[in-house]
A and B are shown apart, each in its own frame.
Chain A
Amino acid sequence: SQQGEEDPQALSIQEGENATMNCSYKTSINNLQWYRQNSGRGLVHLILIRSNEREKHSGRLRVTLDTSKKSSSLLITASRAADTASYFCATDSKAAGNKLTFGGGTRVLVKP
């Protein structure tokens, strides 16, 4: 079963616009991670946010975490065509034996 559920499932935006995607989960977590997957490739780690953190930045990425709502969001600012990919959240929780559980992903298309 999936701990994380991403929303929306797909997103289409113009280059230069911001892209926001959300992840909801069911049980208390140790940390939450976001990964990117380009078509036909493996996943690449983007950012990790711990359960006691509320916001984290990395370049054009901004991640927020609301443990009271059991949700996280990933914002990509000033998107580029190269940001076209699928984005997955993954939660690490004691309930899952301290292993990562991945959501179904959000497919992002950035049109030039």
Chain B
Amino acid sequence: DAEITQSPRHKITETGRQVTLACHQTWNHNNMFWYRQDLGHGLRLIHYSYGVQDTNKGEVSDGYSVSRSNTEDLPLTLESAASSQTSVYFCASSRGANGGNEQFFGPGTRLTVL
């Protein structure tokens, strides 16, 4: 069965370190998204991609970067982790030409920055 996976599921890191969160989908979807979820803010879009070599900034992109070298993967990198980036991160994917279709979510990565 097709799925979307994230790794690691839990990560503790220190301020200033570079961290990469992995997202892998086997749906063969064009579109992939990274969100963060914080209490009181719902889900906020960090970065998204509509295809290989395409990346775009979302609502809260400062301090994050992504790259899309193939259809299946969209890794999220925190260049220099900050305590404000402690959050739960969700990756999602969808088919179609834009981001308004049904999205399939991964299980999430809980990141703690000390």
Contacts and interface: CB of A to CB of B under 8 A. Distances in A.
Interface residues of A, number: 24
Interface string A31-51: 101010000111111001000
Nearest to B35: A102
Interface string B67-105: 000000000000000000000001010000011111111
B46 to A, nearest CB: 12
Nearest to A5: B42
A41 B107 contact: yes
B113 interface: no
A30 interface: yes
Interface in B45-60: 45, 48, 58-59
Contacts of B43: 43, 88, 102
A65 to B, nearest CB: 15
B45 A103 contact: no
Given A42-B108, A43-B103, 5 more contacts: A2-B41, A42-B107, A88-B43, A99-B100, A103-B42
Interface of A: 1-2, 30-31, 33, 35, 40-45, 48, 88, 92, 97-105
